[in-house]
Amino acid sequence: MDIIISLLTTLNSLSPLAVIALFGLVIFMMVKAKTDTSTVVQKVNDLGTNHLHCMPDILETLQRIEVKLSEEFAYLKARINGGGRPSA
């Protein structure tokens, strides 16, 4: 709320021509953003046509990583608990 009050105070201190120019700039930027959607539309189309055909391969890889990490964690846990130490 303080930001809005400070913005209104700043606008009040400007000349009427400066305020009109500022609003004209805001309107121009809003119109330009409305008409310049080609990159946004292309990104949406790319996402819409992606059928995630590689997801089973990714899942298989993640499962292998999970198994490997669980084996290594079990080994570390056994070492911490006193198992697996070489006897002298």
- Give dist(CA 55, CA 51) in Å, integer: 9
Please report, for the chain, the start and end positions of each structural domain, with discontinuous segments joined by +: 1-50, 51-83
pLDDT digits (tens, 9 = 90+) for 49-66: 777 777 888 899 999 999
Cβ pair 19, 11 in contact under 8 A: yes
Give the model confidence (pLDDT) of 7-48 as tens digits: 778 877 878 888 888 888 888 888 877 766 667 677 777 777
Question: Tens of pLDDT along 59-88?
Answer: 999 999 999 999 999 999 998 988 655 554
- CB neighbours (10 Å) of residue 85? 8
